Structure 1
């Protein structure tokens, strides 16, 4: 699957402020929003996972370029984790512990390079300050209790990301819910942000978006009506638009191109 393009929108900046607050106050935060609005992209970007994911998954011999990854992880001291759909509580604990250990080792490597790593491992400052768990609807009661216990023991910030209604789901677990310090709704792109994103997409296709041009205005309105500001759907729609324009040797983005691209997609918003 192709990686989605990242755009620093207002919602991403709001997420960064939310994550910084959770991390700074060592509390628990809940982030919820419709599928495709950009929650996962923002969380990965915040944790610098776009730089570190390959290294952490393909754990093996080190390369010189890896030191840039160590530095990126050290700046945020954050672990991004997605539980499996059918993962058992024991496997959940093992997977999370292994990933956390790998991030901690990378941060150690960064400080060792700077000459700031002192004392045995047991005496070092805690490396991880924030854990972000995506798709947290998948978590079993045992997994939630484990996360709550880890939060209490380590004083580490915790963000749980999910769909709308997740805050009500977690309210059934008072031990966890009573520790929630922040709740953040991740919203779709507003009209001005959607226009900003589309201007960039127009440019990638070799065109300039002019809202005062009737053809561009029609295409813009069609995209807004189809996507409702859903970031993932915009990405999928433009992938199909680019394909249609290339096949048909078209050089102008019109509402007909948008509708043709829309007809190839299964849209479930």
Structure 2
């Protein structure tokens, strides 16, 4: 279930875990794995600064390289002057003003870079206290980013108790289980959860059928099954996903009969 204020670069904020990590090489999505119930705004701003720093890194690396080239060239010039006969320390030449002018130019370029965060996703929003929700509302009111709240069924009823917050919600959408055709499409296109590597061979039809039956269209359960399949393959030094592997993966998870 999620409720949205509007709808791309984005922040994904998960209130369960406790570390910040980059998910992709490009800053399309940055995970801030812990949103405290007291410092909600501070946590979000910290993550936005993280995204901004990723965007600015190429410009900063370029500035460092250019400024270093100017510094080395100027140092060589000054050394040549100081090495001339009769030159005293009092005659030390001034630093080339080009260095400072170039530095200021790059500072102007940095300040001109717009905030790349245009969408903020807040997972498990149903667990946030009103104080945190108010801070999130304040961020939305600034108009710099869209906001999506994700939570368990009933989150919209809880938020409805706060009219000032609820009045800003654009729409509510409930995620439903995937149907068999959707799961089949995912598996036939060799989709796998982030960090999970499965054999390159196309999954056998009977394996796909088993995964559809066991997952029941539950995306989280499908993710857990595929993750466990990778582990079963690794432990047993296998290179092909078979029904036996799928059964072993299911047996190691508490998911009930399927």
For structure 2, the 5+ residue unaligned runs are 13-18, 64-104
Structure 1: runs of 5+ lacking an equivalent: 1-14, 30-44, 50-55, 60-67
Going from structure 1 to structure 2, the CA distance change for 1:174 and 1:79 (only over 3 Å counts) comes to farther
Q: RCO (CA 8 Å, sep 6+): is it higher in 1 or 2?
A: 1
Q: 2:145 corresponds to which residue? A: 156
Aligned partner of 1:47 in structure 2 is 10
SS where residue 170 of structure 2 aligns?
strand
TM-score, normalising length from structure 2?
Answer: 0.58
Q: Distance in 1 between matches of 2:133 and 2:156?
A: 13
Partner of 1:204: 198
CA distance in 2, matches of 1:88, 1:251: 45
Work out which of the two has the higher radius of gyration on C-alpha atoms and give 1 or 2: 2
Q: Which residue in 2 is equivalent to 1:35?
A: none
Structure-2 separation of matches of 1:171 and 1:162: 14
* Mapped partners of 1:183, 1:95: distance in 2: 25
Task: Tell me the alpha carbon deviations over residues 5-31 of structure 1, each in whole angstroms, 9 at most, x when there is no partner.
Answer: xxxxxxxxxx9xx9xxx7xxxx447xx
Question: Cα RMSD (Å) of the superposition?
Answer: 4.3
**Which secondary structure state, in structure 2, belongs to the residue aligned with residue 147 of structure 1?**
helix
Following superposition, the deviation at residue 210 of structure 1 comes to 4.8
1:176 and 1:136 map into 2 onto residues whose CA distance is 13
Match of 1:97 in 2: 45
Q: Could you tell me whether the CA contact under 8 Å between 1:132 and 1:160 is conserved in 2?
A: yes
Equivalenced residues, count: 201
CA distance in 1, matches of 2:181, 2:172: 25
Q: 1:260 aligns with which of 232, 248, 255?
A: 248
TM-score (normalizing by structure 1): 0.56
